[in-house]
Structure formats: C-alpha cells, structure tokens
Copies of this chain bind each other. A is one copy, B any other.
Amino acid sequence: MNLSQIELLRVLQETNFNLSKAAERMHIVQSAVSRQLQMFESELGSPLFERQGKKLISMTALGTRVMEEVDIINRAKNNIQNIAADFLDSNQGILHIATTHTQAKYFLPLPIQRFKEKYPGVKIYMVQASPDQLIEQLHARKADIAICTERVDQEHDLVIKNCYEWHHALVVPLYHPLSEGDITLERLATYPILTYSSGFTGRSAIEGAFKNASLELDITLSAADTDVIKTYVRLGMGAGLITAMAYDALIDQDLVVRDLAHLIPSSNTKIAYLKHNYLPLYSQHFIEELLIAADEITA
C-alpha cells in the first residue's frame, strides 16, 4: 500500500470509476493506473470494485468501507502539507471563499479589504455559487470557507459559526404607493413582488411569513442577485424585497427603503468549513475578520 494508490482511489471516486480519466488526472498513463489498482486489490485480497467485463461499475462492500479510511488518509495528508506550508510562511497561500452574490457584494468587501492589508501575500479566490452548491464546494475542496444563509444546518463534518443576523427591507420607486403608510403583509400581498430566487438569501423566511398569514405571494420576478432585483424595481415591475444592507443611501436615492423587520423573521448568515480539515492561520484570521465585521453591522 502506498499513498499514490490511496490517491488513486480518491480520484476514481471522482471520475465515476473511470480508469482512463483517473490516469489523465494523475498525469500518468492508463496502464499504470490499471496495474496499481490490481496490485492494491491483490494486496488486500479482495476486489474493491464491481466489474462488468473489464469495466468498473461500482464499489464492493469492502470498497465502500475502505474508501472511508481512504478519505481520512487523504485529508490528513493534505493537512500535513498545509500545516507545513503555513509554518513556512503564513502570509502566503490561497483562500477560496464560496459565497453568494449578495454576501460578496454587500458584506464581504470590508472584511476582505482589511484582511488583504494584513495578509497581502494571500490570494483570494471567490467562488460564487447558489446556497446548496456552497456546501458541495466545501466537500469537493474547491472552497475553504463558505458564507451562506440558507440550508446550512445539521451537516455533520462541518463547522458552522453564526456570523450575523439580518432582516429584509422593501424597496420601491419614489412615489410608489408603498412608499407611504404602514406596511403590512396584507398590503404587500396586493403588489407583484421581486425578490431572491428559491433557496437564496433568506427567501424561505419571506415564504414562511406569507404562508403563516395565509397570504398569496405574487412573485413576478426572482433573481439570485440584488442588483437585478433593484433594476427591475426601478422599471416599475413591483415591490422589491431585499436584504436591508443591500440598500445604498447614495446609489439608491431613486428608491425608497422601508423596514420589514416586524413582518418577516430575521435570517442568519453563517460561516461554514470542513471539520478535520486544517485551515491555515490566515484563514482563521479571515474568519475572525468576518466576525468583527458582522459585529459592526449588528451594532
């Protein structure tokens, strides 16, 4: 048994048990991969994969059990490398952040700017994805840290930290009927609504509020992106429900913002990362930076 065989199993898992593709990813020829797998299986004494003819179809019971340990080994191997690199120079490295558009545009700029000042040598890659993809990004090791609002509870092998609590706001053009008078759910329900796509940025809280009041929610447009929503609100397509912090007093002077904290339950934005996975010092500091910025928002 050796580490490249362990690595091979990991890659095979990612390539649907395709030896040729695995070989390609590992930058060696296919025959080498084939042999390594044979040797490993014969060392263990039983096959790890079910075969149809020569083709690998799925994993055997042994294979799936072994794969659990393989994952542990690969994780530890990566950790060793990261720990050493960190020890060598904790101001050098790459930070992959997976998040949604709203966070990237309205929450992250400040903490990222501060972080960059402290760690100029660290490159930041921002991976934008939908909330349910964020977690996948972590598991696929394409992201180190995910910042997201929906769907991030109860995942084992994830560390989840509460970041900040926020609520929705209504935005309408100047002189829109909703720019004056008390706002109630009943009143809102009489207008076409523009808000986030299903699964995005607290959309579930909106749906929940209307459902609780037995009101029909007429969503005329939904987008992943606050700016898109604002654009169509400006065109008079309806009332926009967005994150309060996405309203910019300067840029959005042509829009009226109205608080909805009393109507729609607040949402929590969280920070998530993998358990058992070594985070470089700079990543740990980045998380601290996020929490500081979050405190400032809520204060």
Contacts and interface: CB of A to CB of B under 8 A. Distances in A.
Contact of A69 (B66, B70, B80, B85): B80
A26 to B, nearest CB: 15
Interface string A159-194: 000000000000000000000000000000000000
A62 interface: yes
Q: Give chain A's interface secondary structure class.
A: helix
Contact of A46 (B2, B65, B88): B88
A18 B85 CA distance: 26
A62 B83 contact: yes
Contact of A77 (B61, B65, B73): B73
A1 B1 contact: no
Interface string A61-104: 11001100110110011011101110110000000000000000
A63 to B, nearest CB: 10
A17 B223 CA distance: 61
A66 B83 contact: yes
B80 A44 contact: yes
A124 B29 CA distance: 46
Given A1-B81, A45-B88, 20 more contacts: A2-B2, A44-B81, A45-B84, A46-B84, A46-B88, A61-B87, A62-B84, A62-B87, A66-B83, A69-B76, A69-B77, A69-B79, A69-B80, A70-B76, A70-B80, A72-B72, A72-B73, A73-B73, A73-B76, A73-B77
Task: Please name the 7 residue pairs, one residue from A and one from B, whose CB atoms are nearest each other, closest first.
Answer: A44-B84, A69-B76, A72-B76, A45-B88, A62-B87, A73-B76, A69-B79
